[in-house]
A and B are shown apart, each in its own frame.
Chain A
Amino acid sequence: MVQKAGLLIEEPIRTAKLNAEFKFEIAKVPGGETINHCFQCGKCTASCPIRRFDKRYNPRVIIRATLLGMKDVVLSSPIIWMCATCYSCSERCPQGVRFTDIMRVIRNMAVAEGKVNPFYKKTAEAIIQFGRTFDSPDFINEMRCDLGLPPVTSLDRQEIAKIIGELKVNRSKESLNK
């Protein structure tokens, strides 16, 4: 096993261990459609501010590994949680590959397999529970009152859990009917 651009890769690469469906799975999800347009020029990597300060992170290599079908390698790597979502890569790609959106699809797939960065997990869980990034607005409202600002708006947090649940149940029913 060798570390290449933050990915743990077994060399030589054996085709039998690759998952050719991976790129098509990504392309099927909204946001992932452009993955197959990549021709490996590396403009994404050259434009990436994270890459600039941490040489382990390399969008081009993540795309290459994805196109080769290294599903487990990509989804298990902590490197996929380093994207800053700045969209520089997507803006500059000569092939119109929207890598920032693809990264979101890849992260969602990793989460579905139970592989998630603890910071992102904690943040998203809190938001879904509270309906926003903070729980009780009392402390915030005290600060706001001192500045002459109105309190933060009311929110029925039960409603958030309900609509998220409904959407997911409807989706899974539909996929069962397929």
Chain B
Amino acid sequence: MKYVFFQGCTTPQKENAYELSMRKVAAKLGIELVTLEEQNCCGFFVEPVDHLSATIMAARDLALFDASGLNAVTPCPACYGQLTRVRNELLADKKLFDEVNSALKTVDRKFVGTSEIKHFMTVLIDEVGMEKIKASVVKPLSNLKVAPFYGCHILKPSYEVNTDNPEDPQLLDSLIALTGAKLVDYGEKKLCCGQSVGGVDEELSLNLSKTKLKSIKKAGADVMVTVCPACHMQFDLVAGAKLRDLAIPVLHYTQLLGLAQGLSPSELGLGENRVSTDAILEMIGMV
């Protein structure tokens, strides 16, 4: 299993522990991640301002994947959604395909559509498979009560990404179950983290996070687990500083899996998490 690694912007800027733990877990499972130079922003944040600019930015990344001859994998659901959507659009619309390629030609690039973008979770489920992941677990985290948080873009819009049923998702739940941890169900499981409106209305954004955190606390979870760098940033960095009374430890799924695979907290970058993870490390006997 060999993929080019698409880093995105949020992960290197704010959530390097996500990439670190993803790389460590990938190595354990025999997934080779190839460096791909010249990658740019997928265009997700440009969409609201100018769809055409966002489309060509995504197309340039997709052209890099095509040239590599490999599929790409990213830790970021927003990049995954954006690049999947633009690829679908370019393959369905011949006129747009030609327009985009005539612009890409001026910099000697070409979008063909042979390579796909995958999210790391979809690689785990579809390519690695549950059996192999389960076999890699050497230290079941049976003392830990975990609240799964999907976020929005790994699931929606399902007419573009088609990963799992957004009304009753199981993907992350089943991946967490493999680590031996106990799943905690909670009322606000499907609520958006609020990160994307933070720049427009911070109070509103925090109201979403607050509601979610209260629901998770009430359900008795020790830790929440995310698959999105932006959701992680919202609960670990933003809520960790601004909603201190409610904040709980937030692990990237790859950190949780890595702990169950016997990797050390420092190998998985747990020191980078802003809400202290000491309490959960103690619970699993790693302090």
Q: Which residues of A contact B (CB under 8 A)?
A: 29-31, 49-50, 53-54, 81-82, 84-88, 90-91, 98, 100-101, 104-105, 107-108, 111, 116-117, 119-121, 123-124, 127-128, 131-134, 137, 140, 143-144, 147-150, 152-157, 159-160, 162-164, 166-168, 170-171
Asked if A160 and B40 sit within 8 Å, CB to CB, the answer is yes
Residues in chain B near residue A162, CB distance under 8 A: 106-107
Residues in chain A near residue B53, CB distance under 8 A: 124, 128, 164, 167-168
Bound Cα distance A25, B86 (Å): 21
Asked if B102 and A170 sit within 8 Å, CB to CB, the answer is yes
How far, in Å, is A168 (CB) from chain B's closest CB? 6
> How many residues does chain B have at the interface if contact means C-beta atoms less than 8 Å apart?
64
Residue on A with the closest CB to B39? A153
- 19 examples of A-B residue contacts, CB within 8 angstroms: A49-B208, A50-B197, A86-B152, A86-B196, A87-B152, A87-B156, A124-B50, A131-B40, A140-B16, A147-B269, A147-B272, A149-B20, A152-B12, A153-B36, A155-B39, A163-B104, A164-B53, A170-B103, A171-B99
Asked if B197 and A84 sit within 8 Å, CB to CB, the answer is yes
Asked if B204 and A50 sit within 8 Å, CB to CB, the answer is yes
Residue on A with the closest CB to B160? A87
Residue on A with the closest CB to B100? A167
Asked if A154 and B192 sit within 8 Å, CB to CB, the answer is no
Asked if B103 and A124 sit within 8 Å, CB to CB, the answer is no
Bound Cα distance A166, B48 (Å): 20
Residues in chain A near residue B190, CB distance under 8 A: 88
Does B49 belong to the interface (CB within 8 Å)? yes
Q: A107-B49, A111-B49, A154-B38 are in contact. Are A160 and B208 (CB under 8 A)?
A: no
Interface of B is mostly: loop
Q: 7 other contacts beyond A53-B208, A84-B208, A155-B39, with CB at 8 A cut-off?
A: A29-B51, A82-B200, A111-B48, A127-B57, A133-B10, A134-B13, A167-B103
Residues in chain A near residue B102, CB distance under 8 A: 166, 170
Asked if B40 and A132 sit within 8 Å, CB to CB, the answer is yes
Q: A91-B167, A127-B41, A147-B20 are in contact. Are A133 and B9 (CB under 8 A)?
A: yes
Q: A84-B196, A147-B17, A149-B19 are in contact. Are A108 and B48 (CB under 8 A)?
A: yes
Residues in chain A near residue B19, CB distance under 8 A: 149
Residues in chain B near residue A134, CB distance under 8 A: 9, 12-13
Bound Cα distance A92, B188 (Å): 17
Residue on A with the closest CB to B23? A149
Does B145 belong to the interface (CB within 8 Å)? no
Asked if B157 and A98 sit within 8 Å, CB to CB, the answer is yes
How far, in Å, is A131 (CB) from chain B's closest CB? 4
Asked if B49 and A159 sit within 8 Å, CB to CB, the answer is no
Asked if A91 and B52 sit within 8 Å, CB to CB, the answer is no
Within 8 A of A (CB), among B11-39: 12-13, 16-17, 19-20, 23, 35-39
Q: A82-B197, A90-B156, A153-B37 are in contact. Are A147 and B16 (CB under 8 A)?
A: yes
Residues in chain B near residue A31, CB distance under 8 A: 51
Contact of A49 among B37, B52, B153, B191 (CB under 8 A): B191
Asked if B48 and A104 sit within 8 Å, CB to CB, the answer is yes
Bound Cα distance A172, B79 (Å): 28
Asked if B46 and A128 sit within 8 Å, CB to CB, the answer is yes
Asked if A152 and B56 sit within 8 Å, CB to CB, the answer is no
Residues in chain A near residue B170, CB distance under 8 A: none
Bound Cα distance A151, B16 (Å): 11
Bound Cα distance A137, B23 (Å): 20
Q: A87-B156, A108-B50, A123-B199 are in contact. Are A30 and B89 (CB under 8 A)?
A: yes
Residues in chain B near residue A164, CB distance under 8 A: 52-53, 56-57, 103
How far, in Å, is B3 (CB) from chain A's closest CB? 15
Asked if B99 and A167 sit within 8 Å, CB to CB, the answer is yes
Residues in chain A near residue B41, CB distance under 8 A: 127, 131-133
Residues in chain B near residue A163, CB distance under 8 A: 56, 60, 103-104, 106-107
Does B265 belong to the interface (CB within 8 Å)? no
List the 4 closest pairs (A to B, CB-CB), nearest first. A87-B156, A119-B199, A166-B103, A124-B49
Asked if B13 and A171 sit within 8 Å, CB to CB, the answer is no
Residues in chain A near residue B127, CB distance under 8 A: none
Asked if B48 and A120 sit within 8 Å, CB to CB, the answer is yes
Residue on B with the closest CB to A158? B107
